A = this chain, B = another copy of it.
Amino acid sequence: MWIKDSTEVAPQTLQDGIRIRWLITDKDGAPNFAMRVIEIDPGVTFPPHTHPYEHEIYVLEGRGVLTNPEGDVGIMEPGKFVFVEPSAPHGYRNIGEETWRFICIIPLQK
């Protein structure tokens, strides 16, 4: 059982202006799911994509839009949470003036 600060975990760049911090993973002994923080800079878009696993998301800071290939789905801001079903196309666009940060949980591969 341990406590860490999210700034202790180095961010990895996913694309220009988008970073991920892998907070809790199988390397920590997590048996079932991984906790990450996604950080998207102002004005940056993460295009819609799919994968066969779900997301459970909770917004920490900033303001952005959840998107799918048809357009905008809704606003994601602090206190909002999101469920993305397995294989649902989803993307993100920061529409605020600060870095948009949200927790994103995924299942671990077994």
Contact = CB atoms under 8 A, between A and B. Distances in A.
B75 A3 contact: yes
A3 B57 CA distance: 9
B1 A85 contact: yes
B33 A33 contact: yes
24 contacts: A1-B68, A1-B73, A1-B82, A1-B83, A1-B84, A2-B73, A3-B82, A4-B80, A4-B81, A6-B80, A6-B81, A23-B56, A23-B81, A24-B81, A24-B83, A29-B83, A32-B33, A32-B107, A33-B56, A33-B105, A35-B81, A58-B58, A58-B103, A60-B60
Interface of A: 1-7, 23-24, 28-33, 35, 54, 56, 58, 60, 66, 68, 73-76, 79-86, 88, 90, 103, 105, 107
